[in-house]
Amino acid sequence: MYDYLIVGSGLFGATFAYLAHRQGKRCLVIDKRPQLGGNVYCENIKGINVHKYGAHIFHTSNREVWDFVNSLVEFNRYTNCPVANFEGKLYNLPFNMNTFYQMWGVTTPEEAMAKINSQREKAHQEMERAGITEPRNLEEQAISLIGVDIYEKLIKGYTEKQWGRKCTELPAGKDVYEKLIKGYTQKQWGRECKELPAFIIKRLPLRFTYDNNYFNDLYQGIPIGGYNRLIEALLDGVEIRTETNYFSDRETYDAIAKHTVFTGKIDEFFDYCHGKLQYRSVRFEQETLEKSNFQGNAVVNYTSRDVLYTRIIEHKHFESFGNAVYDNPFTVISREYSSEWKEGMEPYYPVNDERNNALYEEYRKMAEAQDCVSFGGRLAEYRYYDMAPTIESAMKLFNQLNSNV
């Protein structure tokens, strides 16, 4: 009899298994994929660790979590500095003085603020004339809540990233919205911005400094040698079965462990009894090129709707810096496309609109009533998780379960 059956070998499941194994608990980790690691899995191609399920950059201000992962593997100094390509012109992200110079030719914070505030004031006037008192959708939220020029750079097909400031604290203007957000957001969600809920925009990457660091966290980096090394360290000594589908023999798996930690889709666990939750999915067109350097940056977002992919990832830049990129004559790129999720596709991002949140609440109540099953992670909690909060959440669950023993 196992103490824990852990369904899923992603960061949540692997972290939980590590903590349980360290305390002498007998664990079995099962995963329906042929490899471990969930969406952080990397495939080595031509000596390059390719992030098979999209770019993953570890970042956190939680020193406990940072020390925890670094006790397992060494992290490099990678700093996430993506750029946006709009009709052939490049803009720095998050929005900062480099962006404002590229867009308007301004060189001081005062000039940038004046430009933004003038557009913001115009947006509020237009809303008043239209009799609009509160943003009704994402587009109005973007152009009006925070001004006429900015709305959050919604890399939401990618993330609900933590930008460090609330939108209400940061003015913006229509130029930024039209060039860097509108088309990208519509591609990510497959809907017009006017059809998207306003809550999607939560934070805004607006800085009046020349700081291109995407994150505001104290610590960030990528495991040297790729994320597989982190997963291998977490699961060292733990019994593992890959290509094993929990739902193919559910009764048997439920009977072999005292407690199950489930990290899959919560609606599937309950046989979709309240209906199916919606997701956004992502697909990748991967290409190996016989050149050392394709775009000079790990991530370039394409914000015009005319370009079908949302971004291009060049994987070698996650671990090779400066002229070291030329040590390898090959590079691997992935063009990323966002789409509606359908059966058979990987569910990446929950669609946290009113309908889906209400549906999830029904499943959450059912989950709370389970005595011998705990739910954790992005799919089981129907919420977007960055990697560090995923690990923190797994730690919390383990402590809760073992404090009650």
Q: Which residues contact 112 (CB under 8 A, 6 or more apart)?
A: 97, 100, 104, 106, 208
Catalytic residues: 203, 207, 280, 311, 336, 384, 386
The total of other beta-carbon atoms located within 10 Å of residue 289's CB is 14
Which positions ≥6 away from 248 have C-beta within 8 Å?
none
18 and 285 in contact (C-beta within 8 Å)? no
Please report the sign of the dihedral spanned by the C-alpha atoms of residue 70, residue 74, residue 75, residue 76: positive
Question: Which DSSP state fits 305?
Answer: T
Report the Cα–Cα distance between both ends of the chain, in Å, rounded. 17
Please say whether the beta carbons of 335 and 315 come within 8 A: no
Largest CA distance in the chain: 69
**Exposed, middle or buried by CB within 10 Å (0-12, 13-18, 19+), for 248?**
exposed
List residues bridging with 284 in a β-sheet: 336
